C-alpha cells in the first residue's frame, strides 16, 4: 500500500509519477495532500486525468482495493484500520493540521512492512514524523529529489531524518517501487522465524560476522538485540541493494564501510515525539508530584533517560518536572538534573541543539509551546534555560556503568528491541541505580516480569513502578556488564517421562546435561578440587567417608577436614605432587569408617588442560576391595603385621624428619628474605616520607592553582555572559536593520545569513555550510559569484545597484571579512533595499523632463539659475533671442553670457535677494536694463524674476524671464 504525500507544487510530480506507472501493479495508492475545505472534488478530477486506474474519494468503511487510487477528502483526517478507511474531523486548526503525518502513522500500524511512503513537493515538514513510523515497521520510504521539486521544504525535511531509502525524480519512482514490491515475493530472503529449523537455514556465522563488522567500525555490539528485529533491519538494506544472500551482504559490508554506517543507523531507528502517549505522561506527573514533595530542601531531582534518540522524551520529562515544581512551596529550593543518553553521536548533537520542526505543535500544547519554546526561522527551539537542565551524553546501556541515585528512570520502548537475557540483566541494574521509592517508567509493551520483588507496580497500564526497599542481589548485578554470555548454560530441569512412540532422537541441551549428570553420579569416584593452599573449590560425589567438618570457625580446607587416618597421607601426597609437578597415586590407604576399616586409593592429579584450571589439583578417593576380616577388624595380630606397622611408623617418622629439615631450610631462607625485605621497606618508608612532603607541597600548589582556576573560571563566565549579550545585541541589530546579509568563508561556503536574505536568495537554516553557487538568486544579475571571487582575490570592496525579478532595487556591497587580527576569513555580502530611492529618482527625472518640456513650450525667453548664478536650464526662445547655443547654456554663469552683457549690479542685487532665504522679497518685475549685445547691438531688456519653491520651501534656485526686448532709448 503506497501513500503519496504532497502539498504546494505536488500536482506536477503526481502527473509524472502516474504517467510512468503501469495500470495493473497489484498495489493500492492513497493520495494525501493539504486541501482547503472549498476544494471539494477538485483533486479527484485532476488525479483522474493522470491515470486510467479507478480514482475514488476515501469514505468511511471503504475497503482498500489493489489497482485503485484513493484520494483524501477535504477537511478530514484519514486513518486506516484492518484494511478499511475511516474519516475523522480534524482537531487541529487549519494552520497546524498535519494530514500526511496522521495517515502515515495509521498506515504504519496497519500495513506494517507492506507500507510504502513517498513524499513529494510541498512547504513545511508534514510527513517527516510519519515516515519514521513507516521505517520502524520495516516499510519503505522514497522522497522526491529536491532539485526537481517546485517547493523543496517537505523533501528536505524528510531527508533530514536520514530514514529515507531512495531520493529520486518522480518519473524514476515507479520502476524502483515495482522492483521493491516484487522482491519480497520473489527474491528477498525469507523472514526470520522463531523456530530453530528456519534460523539454521541462515548462512553459518553470517549474522555474527555482520555484528563483528559493526562493532569494529562503530564500537557497538548488537549481538544482544532481538534477532528477529535485527534480521528484518538487515533485510531492508539487502533489498535496497538488491542482494539476495547474507554471505553476499557480508562481503558488500567489507568492501563498503559507508554501508556499515548506514546499517548502524538503520538498527538505531528511534521513533519518538514529545509526550508520546499523552495519558501516560499525565499519570507519571501525578506520581512525580509525590516524589517532588518528599524531596529535601536544596536537594536535586535526578532523572536518567537512556536511549533518548533526538531528545523529545528527555525534554518532555524536563517540562513535566518544571510543571511539578510549580506546585512546590516557593520557600523550598529544588534543582533538576536530567541525564539523557544514546549511542548515536548524531542524535546527541541534534538533541543538544533542541531545534525541532513546526509540526511538533500537534503534540505540544500551546501553553507549553509559549513557555518552553521560542520560534527560530520557522522552527521551534527549546529555550536555553530548559536545555541547560539536560545533560546529553554518549552512553551504551549494555556495557557502560549506569547513572545512580535517581528519582526517575525513564526507559520507554528500548527494552522491546533487546534480547530477554539482556533485559534480565538490565532490570536489576535499574533497581540499583534508583533511590529508594524512585520511579521506573517503561513503555506500554514492556514489563517487569520476574522482578516483582524489585519493583512495585503503581500503574499497570502505563508501566509505572516504584523501587522496593529490597537490596540489590549481588549475583544479579555481577552479570552486568562484563559477564553477559551469548551461550548461557542450560538450566537444570526435572526429567520428564515421554511415551515410547515419541521420537528417540533428542536435541542437545537439557537432556544431554541430565544424562551427563547421572553418569557422573553413578560412576565417578568422590573427589575434590583444591588450590595449592588446600582450599576446596569444588566437591564431586559423597566425600563424607573421608572428610568431616573441622571444629571451630574453620573454612573449607582439605587438610583440616581430612579424617585422622588420612591427614598424613593427603598432606604428603599433595606436597609431593606440588614439588614434583607430577601426579601422585597411593594404594592401600586405610581409613576408619562407620562400617569398619576401608582400603582406598588416593590420587592427586594436576588440572592444567585450560588456563582457567591452571594451578589446581584434583584429589580423588577410590574405594578398593577390602577383606571382610580386615573390614570387621577380627584378624589376629601377627608378628609380620606388627613389623608392617612398625615399618609404617618408621616411614612416617622419616617423612616427618625430612619435612622438618625442609621446613627449617625454608625458614632460614625466608628469614634472610625477610631481612632484605625489611631493609627495602625501611628505604621505601624514607622515600614515602619524602614523597609525602612533596605531596603536601603539591597540595598547597594545587590549592593555589585551584584558586587561580576558580578566578579564571569566573572570568570566563563573565566573558561568556558578555559574548551572549553581544550575540543577542548583534541578532537584534541585524533584525532591526532588516538588511539582507550573507557571511561566506574563503571557499564561498555559507556561514551565516539574516532572514531578509530569503527574499533575494532562497536560503534555509539547513543550507549553512553549502556553497553559494548552489543557489539561484532572484536578481537580474549573473555575475554575483564572479564579483565575490574578485573581492576575495583583490581584497577590495565592490558596490553596485541591482534590480530583482520582482521589481525591487538593492544596493549590493561585497566586502572582505576581516577578523580582529586583520586576517581575511571570507566575505560579507549586504543587500540594502533602495526601491523607494529609485522611485524618487525616477519621479525627479520625470519632473525635470516635465519642467523642461514646459519651459520649451513657453514663448518668453527664460532661464533657471542656481545659487551661484549658473544656468540650470534655458528655453529655446532665450537662445534664439540672444544668439546663444541652447545645448551649451547649462553650466555657464549668467554674468558671462553675451560677452558679459548681463553683468549688471542692479540685476545681481535683485537675484541675490531672491536667493537669500531670509529675505522677504520673493520676486521682482519690470527691471529695465540697457545692454550691449554682440551681433545684436544695444537693446533695452525688461526682466522679471521669481524665487522657486518646493512644498513651500526655498530651493536655492530662481527663474529669470525676459518680458520684452526693444531698441535702446535715444542718448542712452
Cα–Cα distance for residue pair 391/340, rounded to 1 Å: 6
Q: Strands 406-411 and 434-442, how do they pair?
A: parallel
Cell readout for 621 is 578417593
Sign of the alpha-carbon dihedral angle for 11, 17, 22, 27: negative
CA dihedral (585, 589, 592, 596) positive or negative: positive
Residue keyed to cell 558671462: 896
- Round to whole Å and give the CA distance between 944 and 963: 7
Cβ atoms of 407 and 295 closer than 8 Å:
yes
Do the beta carbons of residue 945 and residue 960 sit within 8 Å?
yes
User: CB count, 10 Å around CB of 239?
Assistant: 20
Rounded to the nearest 10 degrees, the angle between the axes of helix 10-19 and helix 42-50 is 30
- The β-bridge partners of 342 are 394
Q: Who contacts 885 (Cβ-Cβ below 8 Å, separation ≥6)? A: 879
Quickly list DSSP for 744-786.
E-TT-BEEEE-GGGGGTB---GGGTTSBGGGS-BSBS-S-HHH
Tell which residue, 606, 604, 600, 592, has the closest CA to residue 622: 600
Tally DSSP H helices, then E strands, for the chain. Answer: 27, 34
Cell readout for 505 is 532422537
Distance between CA atoms of residues 598 and 181, nearest Å: 80
CB burial class (10 A; 0-12, 13-18, 19+) of residue 796? exposed
Angle at 819 between CA 817 and CA 824, to 5 degrees: 50
**In angstroms, what CA-CA distances link 506 with 211, 471, 493, 501, 509?**
31, 41, 15, 13, 9
Separation between Cα atoms, residue 225 and residue 219, nearest integer Å: 15
Overall residue count recorded for the chain in this entry: 972
- Burial level of 447, CB count in 10 A (0-12/13-18/19+)? middle
- Spatial distance between the Cα atoms of 421 and 411, rounded to a whole number of angstroms: 17
* Distance in angstroms (rounded) separating the CA atoms of residues 905 and 901: 11
Phi and psi for 482 in degrees, rounded to 5? Answer: -100, -10
Q: How far apart are CA 339 and CA 752, in angstroms?
A: 31
Residues that are catalytic: 7, 34, 126
476's grid cell: 544479579
CA distance 181 to 185: 8
Where is 80: in which H helix or E strand?
Answer: strand 77-81
C-alpha cell of residue 84: 478499511
Alpha helices for 121-273 (secondary structure H): 130-136, 153-160, 173-186, 196-200, 206-218, 227-240, 246-255, 257-267
Which triple of cell numbers denotes residue 205?
A: 556465522
Instruction: Assess contact for 338 and 298: CB atoms under 8 A.
Output: no
Instruction: Estimate the crossing angle of helix 206-218 against helix 246-255, to 10 degrees.
Output: 20
Say if CB 631 and CB 595 are below 8 A apart.
yes
CB-CB contact of 35 with 72 (8 Å): yes
Instruction: To the nearest 10°, report the CA torsion of 957, 960, 961, 962.
Output: -170
Amino acid at each position: 500500500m503506497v501513500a503519496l504525500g504532497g502539498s504546494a507544487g505536488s500536482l506536477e510530480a503526481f502527473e509524472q509519477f502516474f504517467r510512468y506507472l503501469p495500470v495493473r501493479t497489484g498495489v493500492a495508492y492513497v493520495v494525501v495532500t493539504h486541501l482547503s475545505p472549498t476544494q471539494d472534488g477538485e483533486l479527484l478530477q485532476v488525479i483522474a486525468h493522470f491515470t486510467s486506474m479507478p480514482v475514488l474519494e476515501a469514505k468511511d468503511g471503504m475497503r482498500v482495493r489493489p489497482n485503485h487510487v484513493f484520494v483524501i477528502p477535504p477537511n478530514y483526517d484519514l486513518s486506516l484500520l484492518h484494511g478499511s478507511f475511516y474519516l475523522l474531523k480534524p482537531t487541529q486548526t487549519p494552520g497546524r493540521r498535519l494530514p500526511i503525518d496522521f495517515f502515515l502513522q495509521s498506515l504504519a500500524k496497519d500495513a506494517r512492512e507492506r507500507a510504502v511512503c513517498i513524499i513529494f513537493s510541498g512547504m513545511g515538514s508534514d510527513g517527516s514524523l510519519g515516515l519514521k513510523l513507516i521505517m520502524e515497521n520495516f516499510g519503505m520510504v522514497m522522497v522526491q529529489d529536491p532539485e526537481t521539486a517546485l517547493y523543496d521544504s517537505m523533501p528536505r525535511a524528510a531527508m533530514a531524518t536520514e530514514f529515507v531509502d531512495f531520493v529520486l525524480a518522480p518519473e524514476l519512482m515507479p520502476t524502483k517501487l515495482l522492483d521493491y514490491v516484487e522482491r519480497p515475493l520473489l527474491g528477498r530472503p525469507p523472514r526470520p522465524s522463531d523456530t530453530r529449523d528456519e534460523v539454521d537455514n541462515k548462512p553459518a556465522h553470517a549474522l555474527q560476522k555482520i555484528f563483528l563488522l559493526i562493532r569494529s567500525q562503530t564500537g557497538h555490539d548488537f549481538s544482544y538485540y532481538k534477532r528477529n528485529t535485527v534480521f528484518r533491519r538487515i533485510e531492508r538494506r539487502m533489498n535496497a541493494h538488491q542482494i539476495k544472500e547474507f554471505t553476499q551482504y557480508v562481503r558488500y559490508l567489507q568492501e563498503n564501510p559507508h554501508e556499515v554506517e548506514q546499517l548502524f543507523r538503520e538498527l538505531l531507528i528511534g521513533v519518538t515525539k514529545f509526550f508520546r502517549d499523552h495519558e501516560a505522561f499525565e499519570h507519571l506527573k501525578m506520581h512525580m508530584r509525590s516524589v517532588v514533595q518528599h524531596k529535601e530542601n536544596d536537594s536535586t531531582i535526578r532523572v536518567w533517560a537512556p536511549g533518548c534518540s533526538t531528545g523529545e522524551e528527555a525534554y518532555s520529562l524536563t517540562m513535566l518536572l518544571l510543571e511539578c515544581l510549580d506546585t512546590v512551596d516557593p520557600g523550598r529550593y529544588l534543582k533538576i538534573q536530567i541525564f539523557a543518553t544514546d549511542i548515536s553521536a548524531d542524535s546527541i548533537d541534534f538533541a543538544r541543539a533542541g531545534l525541532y520542526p513546526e509540526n511538533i505543535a500537534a503534540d505540544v500544547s500551546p501553553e507549553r509551546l509559549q513557555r518552553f519554546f521560542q520560534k527560530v526561522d520557522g522552527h521551534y527551539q527549546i529555550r536555553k534555560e530548559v536545555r541547560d537542565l539536560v545533560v546529553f551524553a554518549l552512553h551504551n546501556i549494555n556495557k557502560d556503568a549506569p547513572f545512580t541515585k535517581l528519582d526517575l528512570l525513564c526507559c520507554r520502548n528500548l527494552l522491546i528491541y533487546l534480547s530477554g537475557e539482556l533485559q534480565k540483566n538490565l532490570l536489576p541494574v535499574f533497581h540499583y541505580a534508583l533511590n529508594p521509592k524512585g520511579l521506573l517508567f517503561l513503555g506500554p509493551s514492556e514489563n517487569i516480569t520476574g522482578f516483582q520483588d524489585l519493583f512495585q507496580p503503581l500503574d499497570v497500564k502505563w508501566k509505572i513502578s516504584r523501587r522496593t526497599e529490597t537490596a540489590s542481589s549481588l549475583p544479579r548485578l555481577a552479570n552486568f556488564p562484563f559477564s553477559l554470555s551469548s551461550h548461557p548454560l542450560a538450566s537444570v530441569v526435572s526429567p520428564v517421562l515421554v511415551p515410547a512412540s515419541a521420537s528417540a532422537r533428542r536435541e542437545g541441551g537439557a537432556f544431554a546435561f541430565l544424562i551427563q549428570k547421572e553418569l557422573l553420579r553413578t560412576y565417578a569416584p568422590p573427589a575434590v578440587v583444591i588450590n595449592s593452599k588446600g582450599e576446596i573449590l569444588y566437591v564431586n560425589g559423597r566425600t563424607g567417608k573421608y572428610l568431616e567438618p573441622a571444629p571451630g570457625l574453620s573454612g573449607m580446607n582439605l587438610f583440616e577436614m581430612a579424617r585422622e587416618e588420612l591427614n598424613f597421607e593427603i598432606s604428603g601426597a599433595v606436597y609431593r605432587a606440588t614439588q614434583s609437578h607430577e601426579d601422585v597415586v597411593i594404594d592401600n590407604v586405610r581409613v576408619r569408617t562407620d562400617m569398619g576399616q576401608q582400603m582406598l586409593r588416593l590420587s592427586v592429579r594436576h588440572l592444567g588442560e585450560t588456563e582457567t584450571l591452571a594451578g589446581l589439583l584434583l584429589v580423588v578417593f577410590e574405594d578398593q576391595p577390602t577383606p571382610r576380616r580386615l573390614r570387621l577388624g577380627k584378624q589376629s595380630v601377627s608378628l609380620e603385621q606388627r613389623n608392617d606397622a612398625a615399618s609404617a611408623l618408621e616411614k612416617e617418622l622419616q617423612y616427618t624428619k625430612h619435612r622438618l629439615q625442609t621446613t627449617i631450610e625454608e625458614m632460614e631462607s625466608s628469614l634472610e628474605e625477610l631481612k632484605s625485605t625489611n631493609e627495602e621497606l625501611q628505604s621505601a618508608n624514607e622515600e614515602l616520607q619524602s614523597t609525602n612532603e612533596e605531596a603536601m607541597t603539591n597540595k598547597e600548589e594545587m590549592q593555589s592553582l585551584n584558586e587561580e582556576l576558580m578566578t579564571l573560571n569566573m572570568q570566563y563566565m563573565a566573558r561568556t555572559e558578555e559574548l551572549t549579550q553581544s550575540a543577542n545585541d548583534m541578532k537584534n541589530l541585524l533584525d532591526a536593520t532588516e538588511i539582507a546579509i550573507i557571511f561566506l568563508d574563503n571557499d564561498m561556503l555559507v556561514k551565516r545569513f539574516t532572514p531578509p536574505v530569503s527574499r533575494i536568495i532562497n536560503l534555509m537554516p539547513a543550507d549553512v555550510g553549502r556553497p553559494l553557487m548552489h543557489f539561484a538568486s532572484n536578481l537580474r544579475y549573473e555575475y554575483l559569484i564572479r564579483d565575490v571571487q574578485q573581492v576575495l582575490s583583490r581584497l577590495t570592496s565592490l558596490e553596485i545597484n541591482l534590480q530583482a525579478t520582482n521589481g525591487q532595487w538593492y544596493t549590493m556591497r561585497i566586502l572582505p571579512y576581516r577578523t580582529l587580527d586583520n586576517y581575511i576569513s571570507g566575505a560579507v555580502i549586504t543587500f540594502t533595499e533602495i526601491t523607494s530611492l529609485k522611485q524618487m529618482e525616477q519621479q525627479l527625472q520625470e519632473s525635470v523632463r516635465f519642467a523642461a518640456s514646459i519651459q520649451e513650450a513657453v514663448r518668453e525667453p527664460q532661464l533657471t539659475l542656481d545659487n551661484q548664478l549658473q544656468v540650470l536650464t534655458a528655453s529655446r526662445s532665450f537662445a534664439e533671442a540672444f544668439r546663444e547655443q541652447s545645448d551649451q547654456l547649462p553650466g555657464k554663469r549668467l554674468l558671462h553670457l553675451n560677452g558679459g552683457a548681463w553683468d549688471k549690479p542692479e540685476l545681481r542685487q535683485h537675484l541675490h535677494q531672491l536667493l537669500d532665504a531670509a529675505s522677504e522679497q520673493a520676486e521682482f518685475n519690470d527691471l529695465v536694463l540697457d545692454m550691449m549685445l554682440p551681433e545684436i547691438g544695444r537693446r533695452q531688456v525688461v526682466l522679471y524674476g521669481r524665487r522657486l519653491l518646493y512644498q513651500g520651501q526655498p530651493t536655492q534656485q530662481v527663474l529669470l524671464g525676459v518680458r520684452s526686448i526693444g531698441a535702446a532709448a535715444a542718448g542712452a
